[in-house]
């Protein structure tokens, strides 16, 4: 693995997804976020680390666009977030608002026991630091 850190964009799967999000048509980005969140939130079996990492990145994108949301100082974050493009997510506000509860469910699922993300960070001895790094995302989403 090339990139592995506690930030929501600081791993290979999330970084690759962020590039795909940047390359997508702005009108398609909200659906990409929804799909990434749903994959993790709706997983009933063991959640694979790649799906978890992408869901965390998607939740971080949503958190960043919330009023007063966090900024992530990561070279792997989507460029449109770093540039503050006004039409980066041209979805109706109600759709973005509907994604927030899904994002909170995805966050809960990622940090749960039946998650490879949880197991990898626990095995590394840095689970608490990884969960703490998600606090700004959860706070911005109201969780």
In Å, how far are 12, 36, 62, 116, 128 from 137, measured between CA atoms? Answer: 19, 16, 8, 20, 15
Point out the least confidently predicted range of 35-39, 85-89, 96-100, 114-118: 85-89
Percent of the chain with pLDDT over 70: 92
pTM for the full model? 0.90
Each domain of the chain, given as residue ranges in start order, spans: 12-140
């Amino acid at each position: 693995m090339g990139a592995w850190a506690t930030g929501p964009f600081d791993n290979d799967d999330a970084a690759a997804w962020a590039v795909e999000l940047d390359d997508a048509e702005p009108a398609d980005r909200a659906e990409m976020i929804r799909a990434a969140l749903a994959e993790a939130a709706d997983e009933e079996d063991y959640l694979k680390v790649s799906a978890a990492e992408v869901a965390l990145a998607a939740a971080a994108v949503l958190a960043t666009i919330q009023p007063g949301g966090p900024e992530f100082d990561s070279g792997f974050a989507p460029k449109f977030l770093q540039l503050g493009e006004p039409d980066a997510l041209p979805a109706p506000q109600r759709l973005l608002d509907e994604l927030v509860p899904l994002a909170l469910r995805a966050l809960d699922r990622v940090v749960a026991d039946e998650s490879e993300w949880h197991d990898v960070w626990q095995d590394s001895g840095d689970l608490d630091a990884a969960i703490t790094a998600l606090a700004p995302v959860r706070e911005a989403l109201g969780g």
